[in-house]
Structure formats: structure tokens, C-alpha cells
């Protein structure tokens, strides 16, 4: 557990960059610091590993005052990931990842074994090890950055805008992988972002900071969306917060049977305007318009793939999105990837309007939303 107790940082005579911040980042959770530019997020983060020294206040790591731990040791013990990864350009991926274990005194063989292990963990196959950072995409570089932070098996990782320099699709993949890794490894993570969507997706708890490094609200994503403390927070979490809050709400929505057609097979006689094609394992492949298929087999050229798929028991947001994004208006619901039925937007809305959805929990948004 990381505890910031009344921490203030003042650069010279300027107004405080961080003002009397008290915050607890719980063990095994992702705590996100979010807020507008210049509100003191990076300063707060860097005070945790003593890259920046607080002007006053205390920071405790598992009960121990960090000012009593040598700064160099603290920085080696705490993983750190930054925007653009900050890799050493003249070292291979493998050697970048081996750096901290080697600094921590590990032998070469052990550090290399561990480096290969964590590279695999972040989804970079073995042949990436010998490449140089310039030979990787931005998203791959960030993965190496995460692998490097994980290499010496730290109990705490600090991440400063780790995914903001990569394109939105790569960012989603990186976020999903971070959630998976964190749930597997139980690492305590403190992450800085200016992106409220990222904060809500990744954070178990989210601290919203305002100018001057003042804590505006510290709560679960669901609570921030449902009960913003003031106008600043309400404004910051944005206009879509009612919709976003559905990510945390689950309820029974009527599931309609769907009679799919087999991908790769002739269609036979069907009259409906839209039909769902599934593979041999009942996995949805896409929607088809029977008139476009004619008498031949259903092939990839006939698929209208638009539409998200919701997991059975998924959030109201995922169910509504599946229905709204489906060309047929029927939202596809799956269990372990296989079709179980479809939902209608109107019926999801009725459930929402009747308020029969249970109250917001403090869970992450479920995977169907990601």
C-alpha cells in the first residue's frame, strides 16, 4: 500500500504544484491520477519513487517512510513506465529489459531468462528480443517498456501516460493487456493519464486532481460517474457519463433465440432481411442480407461485420452497444464466444428506465466493453 500523507510540492516560490495531497493506493489495485494539464499528476507520481522530493508531507510504502529509503534503491525497486517507453536506442529489446535485473545484481543468465519471460507476458514473440527499439512500432515499444518495468518483479509500478503516444487501436490492446497482467500478477499500479476514459477503464480507484494539485475527488469509477463531487469533476468526467456509468450496471435483459445460418454453406430459403452467420463452433461471423447471397454459399464477401458482441451477463452498456451497433438491430450475445441469443435496444432501455439495474459496483468495466 502506498500512502501519501499531506504531501505538498512547491517549485521555488511558485504556487504549489501539489497541495496537501492525501491519497491511499491500495495493494494489488490500479490507482489512477487524472486531471487537466499542469494539475500536478506527474509531480505526484514522481514523488512516490523520489525522483522528486516533496516539500512537506510523508509518503509511506507498506508502512515505511520512503524518505528513509535510499532514492536509488527505491527507483530500482519500483517499476516505472513513461510515454514513448524511454528505451535505450542502442540496446536490443532483450538488453533493455535485462537492465534493471542486472542493476539489481542478477546474473546474466537469470536476467535473460526473466527478460524473455516478461517479453512473452506482454505479447512480444521471441524474435523481437534481438531487435532495436527503432525497429518496433510505438505500441510494441510501449510493450517493451512495460516488460522492462515488470522484469525485476516489482510489487509497485508507476506509469506516466504510458499509452498516450500510441494510436487508439493499439492503445486499447495495451490497456486490455495491462488489465490482464495486473490481475494475473497482482501488482500495485499507480497510473497517470489525462484521459478520463482511460482512467475509468483501468482504475480500481481514480483520483481527480484540479489545478494546483488539489484533490477534487477520489473514488471508484462507478461512483465518480454516478456522484461527481462538484461541477469541476462533473465537467471533467464529461457529458457521456450517464452512458459510461452503464458499464458498471448489470441486469437481466430478455434474450431472444436467434436462428443463425452456417458460414460457408448454402443459405437455403430464408425470408428475413438480416441473418446471422456462425461458424461450425457457433461463433458469430457477421450479418448477411439473403438477397446478396443468392443460391451460392455464404462467403466472407457477404458479411456485414459492423457491430459489437456482448458477453452473456455483460454490462448494460455492452448489451446496448451490441444492439445499437448491429445492422439488424439485434445485439449478439455470446458465451465463451458462441452465440446464445440476441437482445433489443428498446428492451435494454426499458430495463434502464425501470431502474431495475442494480446499483453501480466498484468493478472494472467488463471485458465486453473493452
Ligand X SMILES: Nc1ncnc2c1ncn2[C@@H]1O[C@H](COP(=O)(O)OP(=O)(O)OP(=O)(O)O)[C@@H](O)[C@H]1O
- Residue 39 or residue 352: which is nearer to ligand X going by CB? 39
CB of 35 to ligand X, least distance (A): 6
User: Which residues in this chain contact ligand X in the complex, by CB under 6 A?
Assistant: 11, 17, 35, 37-43, 194
CA distance 162 to 193: 8
CA distance 362 to 5: 24
- Residue 10 or residue 99: which is nearer to ligand X going by CB? 10
- Residue 9 or residue 344: which is nearer to ligand X going by CB? 9
Q: What is residue 292's three-state secondary structure?
A: helix
CB of 10 to ligand X, least distance (A): 9
CB of 36 to ligand X, least distance (A): 7
- Residue 215 or residue 334: which is nearer to ligand X going by CB? 215
CB of 161 to ligand X, least distance (A): 7
- Residue 35 or residue 145: which is nearer to ligand X going by CB? 35
CA torsion sign for 180, 183, 187, 191 is positive
Alpha helices in the chain, H assignment, sequence order: 41-48, 71-77, 93-103, 108-121, 138-150, 168-185, 196-202, 221-226, 231-237, 241-245, 290-293, 316-325, 345-353
Which residues contact residue 37 at a Cβ distance below 8 angstroms, ignoring those fewer than 6 apart? 194
Taking a C-beta distance cutoff of 8 angstroms, is the pair 55, 21 a contact? no
CB of 21 to ligand X, least distance (A): 11
- Residue 82 or residue 332: which is nearer to ligand X going by CB? 82
CB of 194 to ligand X, least distance (A): 5
Q: Which of 319, 315, 308 has the alpha carbon at shortest distance from 365?
A: 315
Cell of 71: 532514492
- Residue 13 or residue 127: which is nearer to ligand X going by CB? 13
CB of 211 to ligand X, least distance (A): 8
Amino acid at each position: 500500500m502506498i500512502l501519501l500523507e499531506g504531501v505538498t510540492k512547491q517549485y521555488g516560490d511558485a504556487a504549489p504544484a501539489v497541495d496537501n495531497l492525501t491519497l491511499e493506493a491500495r495493494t494489488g489495485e490500479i490507482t489512477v491520477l487524472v486531471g487537466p494539464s499542469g494539475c500536478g499528476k506527474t509531480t505526484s507520481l514522481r514523488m512516490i519513487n523520489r525522483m522528486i522530493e516533496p516539500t512537506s508531507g510523508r509518503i509511506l510504502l507498506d508502512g515505511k517512510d520512503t524518505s528513509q529509503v535510499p532514492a536509488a534503491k527505491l527507483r530500482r525497486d519500483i517499476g516505472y513506465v513513461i510515454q514513448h517507453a524511454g528505451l535505450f536506442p542502442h540496446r536490443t529489446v532483450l538488453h533493455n529489459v535485462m537492465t534493471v535485473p542486472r542493476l539489481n545484481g542478477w546474473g546474466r543468465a537469470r536476467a535473460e531468462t526473466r527478460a524473455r519471460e516478461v517479453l512473452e507476458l506482454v505479447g512480444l514473440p521471441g524474435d523481437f528480443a534481438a531487435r532495436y527499439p527503432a525497429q518496433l512500432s510505438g505500441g510494441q515499444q510501449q510493450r517493451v517498456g512495460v516488460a522492462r518495468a515488470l522484469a525485476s518483479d516489482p510489487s509497485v509500478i508507476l506509469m506516466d501516460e504510458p499509452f498516450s503516444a500510441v494510436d487508439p487501436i493499439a492503445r486499447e490492446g495495451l490497456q486490455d493487456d495491462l488489465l490482464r497482467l495486473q490481475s494475473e500478477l497482482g501488482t500495485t499500479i499507480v497510473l497517470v493519464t489525462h484521459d478520463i476514459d482511460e482512467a475509468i477503464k483501468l482504475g480500481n480507484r481514480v483520483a481527480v486532481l484540479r489545478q494546483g494539485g488539489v484533490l477534487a475527488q477520489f473514488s471508484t469509477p462507478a461512483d465518480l460517474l454516478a456522484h461527481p463531487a462538484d461541477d469541476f469533476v462533473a465537467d471533467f468526467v464529461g457529458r457521456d457519463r450517464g452512458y459510461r456509468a452503464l458499464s458498471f450496471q448489470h441486469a437481466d435483459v430478455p434474450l431472444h433465440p436467434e436462428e443463425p445460418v452456417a458460414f460457408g454453406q448454402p443459405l437455403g430459403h430464408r425470408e428475413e432481411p438480416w441473418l446471422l452467420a456462425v461458424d461450425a463452433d457457433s461463433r458469430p461471423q457477421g450479418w448477411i442480407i439473403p438477397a446478396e447471397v443468392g443460391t451460392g454459399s455464404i462467403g466472407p464477401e457477404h458479411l456485414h461485420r459492423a457491430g459489437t458482441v456482448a458477453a452473456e451477463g455483460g454490462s448494460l452498456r455492452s448489451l446496448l452497444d451490441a444492439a445499437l451497433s448491429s445492422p439488424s438491430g439485434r445485439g449478439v450475445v455470446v458465451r465463451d464466444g458462441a452465440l446464445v441469443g440476441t437482445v433489443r435496444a428498446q428492451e435494454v432501455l426499458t430495463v434502464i428506465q425501470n431502474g431495475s439495474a442494480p446499483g453501480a459496483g466498484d468493478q472494472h468495466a467488463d471485458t465486453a466493453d473493452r
